[in-house]
C-alpha cells in the first residue's frame, strides 16, 4: 500500500479522461494528447503511420483512442499511459472508422482492398471481413472492389457505409441468435452516383450520403429500412457554374442545429440550409470560399465554417437564426479542422502551416491560447465516446 499511496501523489496516475482530446500531427505520424481544462498538451505518442486524413474514435470508458491511419494502420492509444496499447496494419489504404454503440467493435472502411473490417475493440483481433462489391470494370487479374466511404456507427450496434464505385449503401447488423453470431448485411443499390462521404444525424436515425457524380444526397431512414433510400436536394447543383473542387467537403462536418442542417455545397461558395423534417432546402448562404467543414456550436446558435484552398486561411461564423455572417477572421495558413468542447465554451482549431493549435471563446471570439503542433489536422475530444455516429 505504500507504493499505492505513493502513486496517489503522482498526478499522472490520477488522470480523469473527461476533458482529454487527441490532435493529429500528420507530418510526423504522431498525436498530441491534450487537456481542455488547462488548454494544453499533455503528451505525444508517435509511430502511428501515415496520418494524412486520419480520424479517431474513443472507447466507451474514454481510456483508449483508436487512430485510423491512411496506410491501413489501426492503433489503440492508451490515454492514461500516453503510449501505444496495440497496433495492427489491417489494409493497404483506409479512410476512417467507427466504434459500435456497445463499444465492443471497431470497424474500418478500406479503399484497397475495398470493404470494411471489424475488430474486437479490446484485442484488435479480426472479427469480420466484409468485402465490397467487385468492379466489373476491372481489367486486372486480381479482383478490385469498390472503395468504401462514409462509415458510421448506428443504434443497435449497426455499422452503415457507402460504396463509392458501385453506388450502394450497406447496413451491417450483428445478429446473435441461439449463439449463432454473424454480421448480416442489408444492401441498398442505385442510391446515386459516387457517394463520397456520409454522416448520421445526432439522434442516429438518418444516414445521408453526399453524391459526387451527380447533384443531391442519398437519405436512409434507419428506423424504416423498408422505405429504402430516397434522394434529397436533387437539383441543388443544377444550372449552377460548379467550380473546380480542390477539397471535398466533409459531411461529418454537417452542422445540425435544432431542426436545420447546415451543409457545405460541393463546388460552390455556399452553405445549404436543410429542414431535417421535410428534407427540403430552405436557404442558401453565400460564404467566403468552398466550405470544407461546417461545425455547429453545441447549443446550435453558431455555425463555424472553414474553406478549401485558396481560402483556407479564413473562418466565417454564421448566426443560425438569421443566416448572417457575424464574424470572420484569419487564424493563419491552412486551417484544417475545428472542434467545440462538448458544452461549447471553447472552440479549438488547427492551423497546419503555422504548426499551431489555437483555442477560442466562441462567446467573445477572443483567442485564449495557442500552442505548437507539427502540421496539426484533426482535433478529437473524448466526449465523442458518448455520441452516436462519432
Q: Is 232 or 388 the residue whose CB approaches a copy of itself more closely? A: 388
The least CB distance from residue 241 to a copy of itself, in Å, is 36
Q: Is 318 or 351 the residue whose CB approaches a copy of itself more closely? A: 318
Q: For 46-179, where are the E strands, in sequence order?
A: 55-58, 64-68, 73-78, 83-89, 93-99, 105-112, 115-120, 126-131, 148-154, 158-163, 168-177
Sites for a copy of itself among residues 108-167 (CB under 8 A): 155-157
Q: How far apart are CA 190 and CA 188, in angstroms?
A: 7
The least CB distance from residue 41 to a copy of itself, in Å, is 16
Under rule CB under 8 A, residue 300 binds a copy of itself: yes
Under rule CB under 8 A, residue 342 binds a copy of itself: yes
Under rule CB under 8 A, residue 388 binds a copy of itself: yes
Q: How many CB atoms lie within 10 A of CB 116?
A: 25
Under rule CB under 8 A, residue 3 binds a copy of itself: yes
DSSP 51: -
Under rule CB under 8 A, residue 16 binds a copy of itself: yes
Q: How far apart are CA 120 and CA 98, in angstroms?
A: 12
DSSP helix/strand/coil, 6: helix
Q: Is 101 or 350 the residue whose CB approaches a copy of itself more closely? A: 101
Under rule CB under 8 A, residue 282 binds a copy of itself: no
One of 135, 298, 334, 365 touching a copy of itself (CB under 8 A): 298
One of 102, 230, 242, 369 touching a copy of itself (CB under 8 A): 102
Under rule CB under 8 A, residue 327 binds a copy of itself: no
Under rule CB under 8 A, residue 281 binds a copy of itself: no
Q: Take residue 130 and report the three cell numbers written for it.
A: 466484409
Under rule CB under 8 A, residue 223 binds a copy of itself: yes
Residues recorded for the chain: 390
Which residue has 472502411 as its cell numbers? 109
Per-residue burial over 229-255, b = 16 or more CB atoms within 10 Å of its CB, e = otherwise = beebbeebbeeeeeeeeebbbbbbbbb
DSSP one-letter string for 240-274: S-PPP-SSPPPGGG-EEETTEEEEEPTTSSEEEEE
Under rule CB under 8 A, residue 383 binds a copy of itself: yes
Segment contacting a copy of itself by CB under 8 A, of 33-41, 87-95, 323-331, 370-378: 33-41
Task: Evaluate the omega torsion of the peptide bond into residue 113 and state whether it is cis, within 30 degrees of 0.
Answer: yes
One of 120, 190, 203, 278 touching a copy of itself (CB under 8 A): 203
Q: How many CB atoms lie within 10 A of CB 317?
A: 19
Under rule CB under 8 A, residue 278 binds a copy of itself: no
Sites for a copy of itself among residues 36-95 (CB under 8 A): 36-37, 58-63, 79-81
Q: Is 145 or 262 the residue whose CB approaches a copy of itself more closely? A: 262
Q: What is the dihedral of CA 196, 97, 375, 47, to 10 degrees?
A: -140
Ordered alpha helix ranges (H), the chain: 2-8
Which residue has 488548454 as its cell numbers? 39
The least CB distance from residue 350 to a copy of itself, in Å, is 21
Q: Take residue 201 and report the three cell numbers written for it.
A: 444525424
Under rule CB under 8 A, residue 376 binds a copy of itself: no
The least CB distance from residue 255 to a copy of itself, in Å, is 13
Segment contacting a copy of itself by CB under 8 A, of 23-31, 39-47, 279-287, 299-307: 299-307
Q: Is 127 or 200 the residue whose CB approaches a copy of itself more closely? A: 200
Per-residue CA distances from 298 to 21, 256, 315, 337, 347 (Å) = 17, 9, 18, 16, 10
**Residues lying near a copy of itself in the complex (CB under 8 A):** 2-4, 6-8, 10, 12-14, 16-19, 35-37, 58-63, 79-81, 101-103, 155-157, 203-205, 223, 258-259, 277, 298-301, 321, 341-345, 363, 382-383, 385-388
Amino acid at each position: 500500500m505504500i507504493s499505492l499511496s505513493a502513486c496517489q501523489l503522482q498526478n499522472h496516475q490520477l488522470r480523469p479522461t473527461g476533458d482529454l482530446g487527441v490532435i493529429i500531427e500528420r507530418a510526423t505520424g504522431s498525436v498530441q494528447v491534450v487537456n481542455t481544462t488547462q488548454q494544453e498538451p499533455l503528451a505525444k505518442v508517435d509511430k502511428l503511420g501515415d496520418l494524412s486524413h486520419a480520424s479517431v474514435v474513443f472507447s466507451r470508458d474514454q481510456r483508449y483512442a483508436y487512430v485510423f491511419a491512411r496506410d491501413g494502420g489501426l492503433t489503440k492509444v492508451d490515454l492514461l499511459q500516453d503510449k501505444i496499447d496495440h497496433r495492427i496494419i489491417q489494409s493497404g489504404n483506409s479512410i476512417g472508422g467507427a466504434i459500435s454503440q456497445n463499444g465492443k467493435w471497431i470497424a474500418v472502411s478500406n479503399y484497397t482492398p475495398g470493404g470494411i473490417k471489424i475488430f474486437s475493440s479490446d484485442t484488435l483481433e479480426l472479427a469480420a471481413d466484409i468485402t465490397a462489391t467487385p468492379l466489373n470494370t476491372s481489367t486486372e487479374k486480381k479482383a478490385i472492389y469498390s472503395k468504401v466511404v462514409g462509415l458510421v456507427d448506428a443504434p443497435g450496434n449497426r455499422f452503415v457505409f457507402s460504396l463509392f464505385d458501385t453506388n450502394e449503401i450497406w447496413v451491417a447488423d450483428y445478429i446473435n441468435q441461439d449463439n449463432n453470431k454473424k454480421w448480416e448485411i442489408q444492401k441498398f443499390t442505385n442510391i446515386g452516383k459516387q457517394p463520397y462521404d456520409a454522416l448520421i444525424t445526432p439522434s442516429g436515425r438518418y444516414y445521408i450520403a453526399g453524391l459526387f457524380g451527380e447533384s443531391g444526397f442519398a437519405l436512409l431512414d434507419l428506423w424504416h429500412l423498408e422505405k429504402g433510400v430516397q434522394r434529397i436536394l436533387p437539383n441543388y447543383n443544377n444550372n449552377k457554374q460548379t467550380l473546380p473542387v480542390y477539397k471535398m467537403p466533409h459531411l461529418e462536418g454537417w452542422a445540425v442545429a435544432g431542426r436545420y442542417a447546415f451543409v457545405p455545397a460541393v463546388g460552390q461558395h455556399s452553405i445549404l440550409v436543410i429542414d431535417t423534417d421535410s428534407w427540403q432546402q430552405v436557404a442558401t448562404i453565400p460564404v467566403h470560399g468552398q466550405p470544407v467543414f461546417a461545425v455547429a456550436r453545441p447549443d446550435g446558435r453558431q455555425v463555424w465554417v472553414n474553406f478549401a484552398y485558396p481560402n483556407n486561411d479564413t473562418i466565417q461564423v454564421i448566426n443560425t437564426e438569421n443566416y448572417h455572417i457575424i464574424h470572420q477572421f484569419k487564424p493563419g495558413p491552412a486551417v484544417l479542422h475545428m472542434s467545440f468542447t462538448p458544452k461549447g465554451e471553447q472552440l479549438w482549431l488547427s492551423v497546419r502551416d503555422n504548426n499551431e493549435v489555437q483555442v477560442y471563446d466562441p462567446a467573445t471570439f477572443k483567442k485564449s491560447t495557442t500552442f505548437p503542433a507539427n502540421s496539426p489536422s484533426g482535433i478529437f475530444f473524448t466526449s465523442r465516446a458518448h455520441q452516436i455516429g462519432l
